[in-house]
Amino acid sequence: MPNDQAVSDSIAASARAALSAVEPRPGVPKPDPIMVADHVRRSFGGLTAVNVEHVEIQRGAITALIGPNGAGKTTFFNLITGFDDANEGTWTFNDRQVAGTAPYKLARIGMVRTFQLTKALSRMTVIDNMRLGAKHQTGERFFAAILPFLWNSQEKSVGQKAMGLLERFNLHEKVGDFAGSLSGGQRKLLEMARALMADPELIMLDEPMAGVNPALKQSLLGHIKTMREEGTTVLFVEHDMDMVHDISDWVIVMAQGEVIAEGPPDTVMKDQAVIDAYLGAHHEAQLTETGESLTESSDGDSA
Amino acid sequence: MDWSFVLTQTLTQAIGIQAIIYCLAAIGLNVQFGYTGLLNFGQVAFVAAGSYAVGVIVLTFDLSLWLAIVVGVVVALVIALILGIPTLRLRADYLAIVTIAFSELVRLTVRSIAFKDVLGGAQGLNGKLGQDFHDTNPLPADFQSLPVLSWTRQDLWVVIVGWILVALFTLLVWLLVRSPWGRIVRGIREDEAAVVSLGKNVFAYKLQALMLGGVIGAFGGIVWAVAKQSVQPDTFRPEFTFFAYTILLLGGAARVFGPIVGAILFWIILAGTGEFLGQAIQAGWIDFLQPTDVGNIRFVLMGSGLIALMVFRPQGIFGDRRELALDAK
Ligand SMILES: Nc1ncnc2c1ncn2[C@@H]1O[C@H](COP(=O)(O)OP(=O)(O)OP(=O)(O)O)[C@@H](O)[C@H]1O
Ligand SMILES: [Mg+2]
């Protein structure tokens, strides 16, 4: 274990080192971007939900996307993954233009996302949810499906992979249960594990910690670090500043649809523009300092 | 009152030709609605496609029945594409609206005077439609009737082959739904976006389900034309689709044997009440009904039964209550 820890630390260190020379300003170019977005705009009627001039996501790093409620984070996720159509803009994934590509194709080429409102398939068992995530399954083709001998062995190996992940996410005792019988936090875990079944190159997690208890949070942080160790690029939306602080190599801040700040966690959380965006202008509080969360500090102020 | 007549008539119809036709239509709906969640309210159009393929190819063009079956399948596939391609990317209700409208459009078109030469207009197509099939009848020529089930030699052969078809399609559905393909369509039924996010081409799967269900429905129509040796446009009314849904719900949607159980039950209820009421009126037990009311009363009873089922056992006879209870998102 200490050895693993050392490896993990060194990967984290190298991910951070790659970004250390990057200037902390919105839209800054990265040394090795997996995704680059330009002029992405989406409005709902008169409201411009997303208006991102330029943003790059560093390969192999854990990037946090933060911002107050309604900042446009989820909408940005939806646009990038093809679940919503941008009014304008282009973006590349692995140097390939992917704006306008069907969402299932984006998932196939390695851009897999989870949802803020969890989408565990509740009428299916946990293991079936997991199996659904695996790519290139012969038995998913119509004519092959009716000939089980064509896909039985693949089904078995998919099942083994699923069991491995379920164990990692502490869901292995729920294998045969309907996903609908899981708790909210367990569904988040299942959704994340299911996304990993698809071997993503870039995994995009929309609030993975929402509704997860503190003890589990720690192990979730571990899982996300493990993803990075295995070479997966992680982009996640999160409101829990401590978590953002703990695991992210880079933080991008959105407010009112625009990227207003970028940088390593320490730098960003001291940024006055970020504090203003979260707490309103002329506010003294800091986002994290002694570990108290944002809500606690604002509660303290209003009291 | 002739109880044995009521019983034999009921039994004959419960597993008779009509039950087979509706069962096939319901197996198709089970693939579309039960497993994939597609609201196809125009299943009767696929049935009509099967029937008319037989009528037109055999009678109008004087070609073989076997060719007609191939044509029926192809037409069903084409209809599924026409209905599916524009609607399956949209919200679920669009398919429902388009299919019900389309099925009426089909009926009104085939009965219209404009195509009378080919499609027979309001009289439909009547003649030796199923001759190629009936020529294959292996039953002895002097066959009279089975002990209880009062089918003619010709009908019995249709019934035998019909149930074989039902068994084959049931086997096909069973193989499909327990495969990774089935896992995807069940996922689609619950939440398309989740399935898309895992890299599955949801649109293609919905189209496949619509096509398969349509082809199975078309076989219902083929059996119909062959058995009755006649194709009548006005038998293809929207009610047909709703009866097929009733059958599916009776037996339990998304259950492999749901359509079979449902079809048999449906005809037991329909034929049983019909024969019973008919006899009871004749025997003077019931004096507030005329024999002509019986047809309608049957459907009142069927409707009440369906309501009771939905209240007390919404998952159908075979359904899994747990699956239904897990609706939480
Ligand atoms: N489908 C929609 N129709 C209309 N307005 C929308 C729609 N989706 C999002 N919006 C608006 O766009 C803005 C950004 O919403 P979005 O969900 O992206 O915020 P978010 O940053 O994810 O917030 P949160 O942290 O609360 O999840 C909000 O003002 C929201 O009201
Ligand atoms: Mg959001």
- Across residues A140-156, what is the average pLDDT? 96
A178 → closest Cβ in B180, B212, B322: B322
Question: What is the pLDDT at residue B328?
Answer: 39
CA distance A74 to chain B (A): 14
B326 → closest Cβ in A104, A122, A146: A122
Question: What is the pLDDT at residue A8?
Answer: 67
Among B88, B170, B197, the residue to mutate for chain A (most A Cβ within 10 A): B197
Q: What are phi and psi of A135, to 5 degrees?
A: -90, 165
Cα–Cα distance for residue pair B324/A126, rounded to 1 Å: 16
Residues facing A303 on adjacent strands: none
Which residues, other chains included, contact B248 with Cβ-Cβ below 8 Å and sequence gap of 6+? B26, B29, B30, B33, B34, B258, B259, B262, B316
A131 → closest Cβ in B183, B194, B328: B183
CA distance B325 to chain A (A): 9
Expressed in angstroms and rounded, the spacing between residue B275 Cα and the centre of ligand 2 is 62
Highest mean pLDDT among B60-74, B117-131, B265-279, B314-328: B60-74
Question: What is the pLDDT at residue A53?
Answer: 93
Question: What is the pLDDT at residue A49?
Answer: 94
- The mean of the pLDDT values for chain A is 87
pLDDT confidence tier of residue A262, bands split at 50, 70 and 90:
very high
Chain A: residue nearest B206 by CA? A142
Question: How many CB atoms are located within 10 Å of the residue B299 CB?
Answer: 16
Question: What is the pLDDT at residue A74?
Answer: 95
Chain A residues inside the 8 Å CB shell of B208: 142
Complex ipTM: 0.88
Chain B: residue nearest A187 by CA? B329
Question: What is the pLDDT at residue A39?
Answer: 94
Higher-confidence residue of A274 and B69: namely B69
Higher-confidence residue of A150 and A27: namely A150
Residue with tokens 């119909």: B224
Q: Which domains does chain A have, with CATH numbers?
A: 2-120+182-277 (3.40.50.300)
Give pLDDT tens digits for B193-222: 999 999 999 999 999 999 999 999 999 999
Sign of the torsion formed by the C-alpha atoms of A32, A36, A38 and A43: negative
Nearest CA to ligand 1 atom 24: A69
Is the pLDDT assigned to residue B327 strictly greater than 60?
A: no
Higher-confidence residue of A270 and A173: namely A173
Give pLDDT tens digits for A271-292: 888 788 877 655 555 566 544 4
Chain B: residue nearest A83 by CA? B193
Which of A41, A75, A240 maximizes ligand 1 atoms within 8 Å of its Cβ, making it the mutation to test the pocket?
A: A75
Question: In this complex, is the C-beta atom of B91 within 8 Å of any C-beta atom belonging to chain A?
Answer: no
Kindly report which listed range (B55-59, B234-238, B289-293) carries the lowest average pLDDT score: B289-293
Chain B residues inside the 8 Å CB shell of A136: none
B230 and B143 Cβ atoms separated by less than 8 Å: no
Question: What is the pLDDT at residue B321?
Answer: 65
Q: Can you give the length of chain B in residues?
A: 329
Residue with tokens 């190996």: A157
Q: What are phi and psi of B295, to 5 degrees?
A: -55, -45
Is the pLDDT assigned to residue A76 strictly greater than 90?
A: yes
CA atoms in the 13 A half-sphere facing the CB of B48:
26
pLDDT confidence tier of residue A4, bands split at 50, 70 and 90:
low
Chain B residues inside the 8 Å CB shell of A205: none
Cα–Cα distance for residue pair A248/A244, rounded to 1 Å: 6
Question: What is the pLDDT at residue B314?
Answer: 79
Chain A: residue nearest B185 by CA? A140
Cα–Cα distance for residue pair B46/B222, rounded to 1 Å: 10
A146 → closest Cβ in B175, B208, B329: B175
Ligand 1 site residues, Cβ closer than 6 angstroms: A 44, 47, 49, 67, 69-75, 116
Give pLDDT tens digits for A231-241: 999 999 998 88
Ligand 2 (single-atom ion) residues, CB below 5 Å: A 74, 116
Query: Percent of chain B having pLDDT more than 70?
Result: 96
Q: Which residues, numbered 168 to 207 in chain B, qualify as contacts with chain A under a Cβ-Cβ cut-off of 8 Å?
A: 172, 175-176, 179-184, 186-187, 189-191, 193-202
Task: Flag if B176 and A145 touch (Cβ within 8 Å).
Answer: yes
Q: Which atom of ligand 1 is nearest to the CA of A254?
A: 21
Question: What is the pLDDT at residue A282?
Answer: 52
Question: What is the pLDDT at residue A298?
Answer: 41
pLDDT confidence tier of residue A205, bands split at 50, 70 and 90:
very high
CATH architecture of the region B3-132+148-327: Orthogonal Bundle (1.10)
Expressed in angstroms and rounded, the spacing between residue A73 Cα and the centre of ligand 1 is 8
List own/partner pairs for A287-290 with CB under 8 A and 24 or more apart.
A287/A241, A288/A241, A288/A242, A288/A245
Residues facing A206 on adjacent strands: A237
- Across residues A114-131, what is the average pLDDT? 93
Every domain of chain B and the residues it spans: 3-132+148-327
One-letter amino acid for residue B68 of the chain: A
CA distance A157 to chain B (A): 13
Per residue, the 3-state secondary structure of chain B, as one string, reads CCHHHHHHHHHHHHCCHHHHHHHHHHHHHHHHHHHCCCCCCCHHHHHHHHHHHHHHHHHHCCCCHHHHHHHHHHHHHHHHHHHHHHHCCCCHHHHHHHHHHHHHHHHHHHCCHHHHHHHCHHHCEECCCCHHHHCCCCCCCCCCCCCCCCCCHHHHHHHHHHHHHHHHHHHHHHHHHCCHHHHHHHHHHHCHHHHHHCCCCHHHHHHHHHHHHHHHHHHHHHHHHHHHCEECHHHCCHHHHHHHHHHHHHHCCCCCCHHHHHHHHHHHHHHHHHHHHHHHHHCCCCCCCCHHHHHHHHHHHHHHHHHHHHHHCCCCCCCCHHHHHCCCC
- Across residues A99-128, what is the average pLDDT? 94
Task: Flag if B179 and A115 touch (Cβ within 8 Å).
Answer: no
pLDDT confidence tier of residue A23, bands split at 50, 70 and 90:
confident
Question: What is the pLDDT at residue A292?
Answer: 44
Chain A residues inside the 8 Å CB shell of B187: 121, 124, 132
Q: What pTM was computed for the model?
A: 0.91
Give pLDDT tens digits for A35-73: 999 999 999 988 999 999 999 999 999 999 999 999 999
- Ligand positioned closest to the Cα atom of A254: 1
Buried b (16+ CB within 10 A) or exposed e, B161-190: bbeebbeebbebbebbbebbbbbbbbbbbb
3-state secondary structure of A215: helix
- Across residues B262-271, what is the average pLDDT? 91
Give pLDDT tens digits for B119-163: 999 899 999 999 999 999 999 888 887 877 889 999 999 999 999
Question: How many CB atoms are located within 10 Å of the residue B199 CB?
Answer: 24
Chain B: residue nearest A184 by CA? B329
- Across residues B276-296, what is the average pLDDT? 84
Q: Which atom of ligand 1 is nearest to the CA of A84?
A: 1
CA distance B206 to chain A (A): 12
